[in-house]
């Protein structure tokens, strides 16, 4: 299925306005996605949840990819990509309002429903905005546009937890405290105004997407992915293994970004809600270094090998680290006026650096040589995002199964071993025999 952009002459002269729209959408996606890392330990403390129960908050968001993936594609096909962005934003805005009764009721079930529905909205938005970025201008410059969008998305992951901590958490209660009902009520009430603001802001972006004088993607030929084409795609081991690799990568990415706050809460650290910013900051650093080094000084395969090795080593440092040691923060943060953080906690943040180049490295390796099957293969790779629903759940299960809050992170090692296998051998496999 090929797509072209139906542009008027003014739009052809500049992609500034479409880039502004797409950039704002990617930033909103980053805000909603990486807010999970701040809201999860906050709700865990307010509702007195176990680590396993807290993991459902993150999992319910990512399971929406599985539920809404195919319906989202159907919606986009019916209403178009620009209108699809508006629909996605509208669903997210309405879902954000659901957090208000959830806070008033202090009911985990309503929070989980809100998380699921806002995840559905972001799935629709993802489905619409990604092809729009690729097709809004010259295909030769598409990679540059994708990099810009990725940086905006990850930048939101640095900013949002800090804002959440300043607006919601600050002055309410410190981490590790036993809460009275009055304190729980104060925490719940502190969510109302921010989520009203979030809903209003996203609704404005929905109006922008709907009414801005922007081009849309117009399909010249329509064709449905046949079952035969899907079966043919699954005959390529490097693709199937790539899908598994993406799922495992998203799982460890979400663990590093969204469970670090819960681990900080477990350690009694007051600023637990900003911990996601550290992970995302490390990820941005790795992303920037990758852009500079690949492919001039390093191949995609080499980057993936190093990511797998770095992930294994860093997880071992998390599991075997001493929570009473602050050597890493004294080395990396103290010279810049940063706080003292236990070594294992900071190592969880450093997993963001190890994870940074996995997604951009697996995609081209998995799609190599697929030709006309590329569209079907891309859809399969996107479905791997559902792995984000399993990562936090796995950590929660490991915690209650006896590994403890720190030992549970050892369950990440098989994922990095698979990523390393894919980098060394899996991406080269062209036959199951």
Host H or E run for residue 219: strand 216-219
C-beta contacts of 418-422 below 8 A and 24+ residues apart: 418/244, 418/245, 418/248, 419/245, 419/248, 419/249, 419/304, 419/307, 419/308, 419/311, 419/358, 419/362, 420/304, 420/305, 420/308, 420/309, 420/312, 421/308, 422/241, 422/242, 422/245, 422/304, 422/362, 422/365
Of the two residues 181 and 349, the one the predictor is more confident about is 349
d(CA 351, CA 253) in angstroms, rounded, equals 8
* Lowest-pLDDT choice from 31-45, 68-82, 215-229: 215-229
Counting residues of the chain whose pLDDT is more than 70, the rounded percentage is: 85
Residue 400 confidence (pLDDT) above 50? yes
Quick check: 357 and 294 in contact, CB under 8 A? yes
Residue 289 or residue 252, greater confidence:
252
Of all helices (H) and strands (E), which one includes residue 355? helix 343-355
CATH number of 227-428: 1.20.1250.20
Residue 53's pLDDT is 87
8 Å CB contact between 189 and 169: no
Give the C-alpha separation, 21 to 231, whole Å: 37
Domain locations along the chain: 1-218, 227-428
| Dihedral sign of CA atoms 333, 283, 156, 123 in order | negative
pLDDT of residue 286: 84
User: Which pLDDT tens digit goes with each residue over 86-102?
Assistant: 999 999 999 999 999 99
What pLDDT does 338 receive?
81
Residue closest to 271 by CA, chosen among 54, 31, 37:
37
Q: Do domains 1-218 and 227-428 have the same CATH topology?
A: yes
Asked if the peptide bond before residue 295 counts as cis, ω within 30 degrees of 0, the response is: yes
Q: Which helix (H) or strand (E) holds 6?
A: strand 3-6
User: In terms of CATH, what superfamily is 1-218?
Assistant: MFS general substrate transporter like domains (1.20.1250.20)
Write the CA distances from 170 to 117, 164, 182, 258, 375, integer angstroms.
Answer: 28, 9, 16, 19, 46
What pLDDT sits at residue 244? 93
**What mean pLDDT is predicted for residues 119-134?**
78
* Residues contacting residue 209 through CB under 8 Å, at least 6 positions apart: 21, 25, 82, 83, 85, 86, 89
Give kind and range of the element (H or E) at residue 217.
strand 216-219
Query: Which tokens hold the place of 262?
Result: 């819960």
Q: Which residue has the higher pLDDT, 347 or 269?
A: 347
In tens, the pLDDT along 325-380 reads 999 989 988 888 888 899 999 999 999 999 988 887 887 788 777 777 766 776 67
Quote the distance between the C-alpha of residue 162 and its chain's center.
17
What pLDDT band is residue 55 in, cutting at 50, 70 and 90? confident
Per-residue burial over 88-120, b if 16 or more Cβ lie within 10 Å, else e, is bbbbbbbbbbbbbebbeebebebbbbbbbbbbb
Q: What are the DSSP calls for 391-429, one per residue?
A: HHHHHHHHIIIIIHHHHGGGGGHHHHHHHHHHHHTGGG-
Partners of 4 in the β-ladder: 218
Kindly tell me the sign of the dihedral angle through the C-alpha atoms of 431, 228, 70, 397: negative
Q: For the chain, what is the mean pLDDT?
A: 82
> Which of 422, 5, 31 has the alpha carbon at shortest distance from 240?
422
The distance in angstroms from the start CA to the end CA of the chain is: 31
Q: In which residue are the tokens 């759940």 written?
A: 393
Going by C-alpha positions, the residue among 46, 404, 51, 69 that lies closest to residue 258 is: 51
């Amino acid at each position: 299925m090929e797509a072209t952009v139906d542009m008027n002459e003014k739009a052809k002269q500049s992609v500034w306005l479409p880039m502004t729209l797409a950039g704002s959408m990617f930033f909103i996606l980053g805000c909603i996605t990486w807010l999970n890392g701040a809201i999860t330990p906050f709700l865990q403390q307010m509702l007195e949840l176990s680590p396993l129960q807290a993991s459902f908050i993150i999992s319910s968001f990512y399971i929406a990819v599985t539920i809404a993936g195919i319906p989202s594609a159907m919606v986009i096909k019916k209403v178009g990509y620009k209108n699809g962005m508006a629909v996605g934003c509208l669903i997210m805005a309405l879902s954000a309002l659901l957090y208000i009764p959830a806070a008033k009721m202090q009911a985990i079930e309503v929070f989980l429903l809100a998380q699921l529905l806002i995840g559905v909205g972001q799935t629709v938005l993802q489905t619409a905005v990604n092809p729009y970025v690729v097709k809004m201008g010259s295909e030769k410059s598409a990679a540059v546009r994708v990099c810009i969008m990725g940086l905006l998305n990850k930048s939101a992951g640095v900013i949002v937890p800090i804002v959440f901590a300043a607006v919601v958490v600050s002055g309410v209660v410190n981490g590790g405290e036993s809460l009275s009902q009055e304190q729980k009520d104060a925490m719940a009430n502190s969510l109302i105004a921010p989520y009203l603001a979030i809903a209003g802001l996203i609704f404005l972006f929905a109006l922008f997407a709907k009414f801005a004088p922007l081009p849309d993607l117009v399909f010249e030929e329509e064709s449905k992915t046949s079952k035969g084409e899907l079966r043919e795609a699954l005959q390529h081991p490097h693709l199937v293994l790539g899908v598994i690799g993406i799922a495992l990568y998203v799982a460890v990415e979400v663990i590093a970004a969204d469970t670090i706050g819960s681990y900080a809460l477990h350690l009694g650290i007051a600023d637990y809600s900003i911990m996601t910013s550290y992970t995302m900051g490390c990820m941005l650093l790795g992303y920037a270094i990758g852009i500079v080094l690949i492919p001039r000084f390093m191949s995609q395969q080499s980057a993936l090998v190093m990511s797998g090795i770095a992930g294994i080593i860093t997880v071992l440092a998390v599991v075997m680290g001493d929570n009473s040691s602050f050597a890493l923060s004294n080395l990396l943060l103290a010279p810049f006026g940063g706080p003292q953080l236990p070594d294992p906690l900071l190592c969880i943040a450093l997993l963001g650096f190890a994870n940074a180049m996995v997604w951009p490295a697996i995609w081209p390796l998995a799609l190599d040589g697929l030709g006309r099957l590329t569209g079907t293969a891309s859809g399969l790779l996107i479905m791997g995002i559902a792995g984000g629903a399993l990562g936090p759940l796995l950590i929660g299960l490991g915690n209650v199964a006896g590994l403890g809050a720190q030992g549970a992170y050892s369950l990440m090692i098989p994922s990095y071993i698979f990523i390393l296998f894919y980098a060394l051998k899996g991406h080269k496999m062209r036959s199951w025999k």
